[in-house]
């Protein structure tokens, strides 16, 4: 098994199983003025009464409103229409083309579906009919996968060896490198700079997994702003056999809406772990918080700003409308009498 | 590999039956099933059904076994320790059942599944996921811990071939 796959696997295990190192008191947002935003459930997909989902892990919506979902315990990827009906399914256990051992994240572009499998050091490329096309070797283990509107693949690379910094890797659908944007300060422990990210306009916004840091970079890697969202110190590490191991996720995921607002999912130190979502302006000011009803590892916003998250340990996808406070606007004109 | 007296195993089975629940959706659990024989029990922790690499590895070893094993009357025993007091317990149990059912289907394994909460089976899998096989000649059960070594595979194959059919003990579950 390749070294990077092993390292990636153990990093995930550490993060999932290590006991929390945080004090009993939960961390609170650094901005006390943040308002609580509401949620309205639009629909719920998957339940014990049907076989639509077993334990889903990755999700992305395309511009046509279809949902692409990876289902780890069904060893498959699936497509649902906007009403939650199953359109397509592909995959089975195995290591052959189009087969999965531990399917994880996915991302969709206009023409392709990019899929990660924890046990395979590749990006698996499918067409939108879920036909397997080819595999792209991962230059380093990938912690987060996205696409740009033009179909460019974007992945956060977390080197396993010392001396190299993590980066956002931009590539075409054949894996040819277009650009690498380096981030993180600690090349001696690059795994500590693992991050989720979104592409917002021309910038990249990172939510660090093991640091209390959300950061906006331009495409040259220059830091535009860097914020600590929680009243809490940086991530803690413990030493196992001489290796520094992070003990818990500080931030689990990040998403961006059409207005450029950022949605950051809090991890272990949050008041409601894996449920608190911190909403930031494009400039990084905290403008609100959301408390999800169920714990989730992922946030996704579609092209109409509907929010998707997980429930029932992966049996269910929830789709929400985010309710922002009404903003003062012009007085509506009265309807003229007929 | 351990050799377990058949009497102990039989007693464990009887005790386990009280706290075991069959999963709907696998092989039909019918009244007449008590007459069937069972020759092996694959013991898996419930947590394995939250981890696709783990369950791929465990079931992969079974899938790679000789066809005899796949034809044999093997049962999957899911070892589950319910929390002491948890309002979601019923949901958790149903989630595990659903996952086990789906995973076996994905691997094309048509074995009955029971969820065991009695702790009686834990001792057999203290060293990890294990296959307990009943040897009809020595009237004893032998435990093989996954992953199987080539010697284990050969021993399992021999046990399954030993004597004429039917091998196994009456199924008391």
Helix, strand, coil shares of chain A as percentages rounded to 5?
5, 45, 50
Chain B interface mutation, best of A15, A73, A78, A311, highest count of B Cβ atoms under 10 Å: A73
In a domain, A54, yes or no: yes
Each residue's pLDDT tens digit, A277-327: 999 999 999 999 999 999 999 999 999 999 999 999 899 999 999 999 875
pLDDT at A78 over 90: yes
Nearest to B95 among A75, A119, A313 (CB): A313
A328 domain-assigned: no
The pLDDT of B29-55, averaged and rounded, is: 70
> pTM for the whole thing?
0.81
The set of residues, in sequence order, having a beta carbon less than 8 Å from that of B12 and lying 6+ positions away, is B120, B121, B124
* Contact yes or no for A237/A192 (Cβ under 8 A): yes
Residue A276 belongs to some domain of the structure: yes
User: Stretch B29-34: mean pLDDT, rounded?
Assistant: 37
| Nearest by Cα to B13 from B104, B130, B141, B102 | B141
Q: Which pair of tokens denotes residue B72?
A: 């044999």
Average pLDDT value for residue range A47-75: 94
Answer whether residue A25 shows pLDDT above 80: no
Query: For chain A, what is the radius of gyration of the CA atoms?
Result: 20
Query: Residue A124 is part of which domain span?
Result: 3-233+240-323
Say if A91 falls within a structural domain.
yes
Please give the Cα distance from A261 to A264 (Å, whole number): 10
The CATH number covering residue A318 comes to 2.120.10.30
- Higher pLDDT residue, A281 or B25? A281
Identify whether the C-beta of residue A113 lies closer than 8 Å to the C-beta of residue A128: yes
Looking at residue B16, its pLDDT comes to 40
pLDDT attached to residue A329: 52
At A296 the pLDDT is 96
Structure confidence at residue B89 (pLDDT): 77
What are the φ/ψ torsions at residue A118 (nearest 5 degrees)? Answer: -60, -25
How many independent structural domains does chain A possess?
1
ipTM at complex level: 0.74
Helix (H) or strand (E) holding B135: strand B130-135
Q: Which residues of B touch A49 (CB under 8 A)?
A: none
pLDDT in tens, A154-207: 999 988 777 788 999 999 999 999 999 999 876 666 677 889 999 998 999 999
Q: Does residue A337 sit within a domain?
A: no
Residue to mutate among A54, A70, A311, with most B CBs inside 10 A, is: A54
Measured over the CA atoms of residue B16, residue B19, residue B23 and residue B24, the dihedral's sign is: positive
Give φ, ψ of A157 to 5 degrees. -95, 130
B150 pLDDT band (50/70/90 cuts)? confident
**Token pair recorded at residue A179:** 């650009």
User: How many whole angstroms separate alpha carbon B60 and alpha carbon B112?
Assistant: 17
Report d(CA A129, CA A125) in Å as an integer. 11
Rounded to 5 degrees, what are φ and ψ at A332? -65, 140
Letter string b/e over residues A281-311, b meaning 16 or more CB atoms within 10 A of that residue's CB: ebebebbbbbebeebbbbbbbbeeebbbbbb
């Amino acid at each position: 098994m390749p070294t990077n796959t092993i390292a990636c696997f153990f990093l995930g295990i550490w993060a999932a199983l290590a006991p929390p190192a945080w004090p009993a008191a939960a961390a609170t947002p650094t901005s006390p003025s943040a308002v609580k935003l509401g949620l309205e459930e639009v629909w719920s997909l998957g339940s014990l009464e049907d076989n639509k989902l077993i334990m889903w892990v990755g999700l992305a919506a395309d511009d046509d409103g279809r949902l692409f979902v990876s289902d780890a315990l069904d060893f498959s990827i699936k497509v649902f229409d906007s009403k939650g009906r199953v359109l397509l399914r592909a995959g089975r256990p195995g290591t052959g083309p189009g087969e999965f051992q531990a399917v994880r994240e996915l991302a969709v572009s206009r023409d392709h579906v990019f899929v990660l499998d924890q046990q395979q050091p590749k990006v698996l490329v499918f067409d939108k009919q879920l036909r397997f096309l080819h595999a792209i070797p991962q230059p380093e283990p990938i912690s987060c996968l996205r696409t740009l509107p033009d179909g460019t693949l974007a992945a956060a690379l977390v080197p396993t060896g010392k001396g190299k910094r993590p980066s956002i890797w931009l590539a075409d659908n054949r894996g040819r490198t277009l650009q690498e944007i380096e981030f993180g300060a600690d090349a001696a422990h690059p795994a500590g700079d693992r991050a989720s990210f979104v592409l917002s306009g021309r910038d990249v916004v990172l939510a660090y997994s093991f640091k209390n840091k959300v950061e906006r970079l331009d495409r040259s890697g220059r830091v535009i702003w860097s914020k600590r969202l929680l009243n809490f110190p940086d991530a803690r590490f413990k030493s196992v056999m001489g290796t520094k191991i992070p003990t818990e996720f500080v931030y689990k995921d990040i998403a961006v809406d059409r207005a450029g607002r950022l949605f950051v999912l809090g991890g272990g130190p949050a008041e409601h772990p894996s449920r608190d979502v911190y909403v930031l302006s494009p400039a990084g000011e905290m403008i609100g918080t959301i408390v999800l009803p169920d714990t989730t590892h992922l946030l996704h916003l579609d092209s109409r700003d509907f929010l998707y998250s997980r429930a029932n340990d992966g049996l269910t996808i929830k789709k929400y409308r985010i309710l922002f406070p009404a903003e003062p606007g012009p007085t509506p004109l009265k309807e003229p009498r007929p | 590999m351990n050799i377990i007296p058949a009497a102990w195993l039989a007693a464990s089975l009887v005790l386990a039956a009280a706290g075991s629940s069959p999963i709907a959706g696998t092989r039909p659990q019918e009244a007449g099933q008590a007459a069937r024989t069972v020759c092996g029990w694959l013991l898996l922790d419930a947590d394995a059904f939250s981890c696709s690499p783990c369950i791929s590895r465990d079931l992969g070893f079974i899938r790679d076994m000789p066809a005899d094993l796949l034809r044999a009357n093997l049962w999957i025993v899911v070892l589950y320790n319910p929390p002491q007091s948890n309002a979601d317990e019923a949901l958790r149990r149903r989630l595990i059942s659903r996952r086990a059912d789906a995973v076996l289907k994905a691997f094309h394994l048509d074995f009955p599944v029971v969820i065991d909460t009695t702790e009686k089976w834990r001792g057999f899998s203290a060293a990890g996921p294990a296959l307990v096989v009943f040897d009809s000649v020595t009237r004893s059960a032998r435990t093989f811990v996954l992953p199987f070594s080539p010697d284990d595979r050969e021993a399992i194959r021999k046990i399954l071939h030993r004597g004429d059919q039917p091998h196994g003990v009456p199924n008391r579950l």
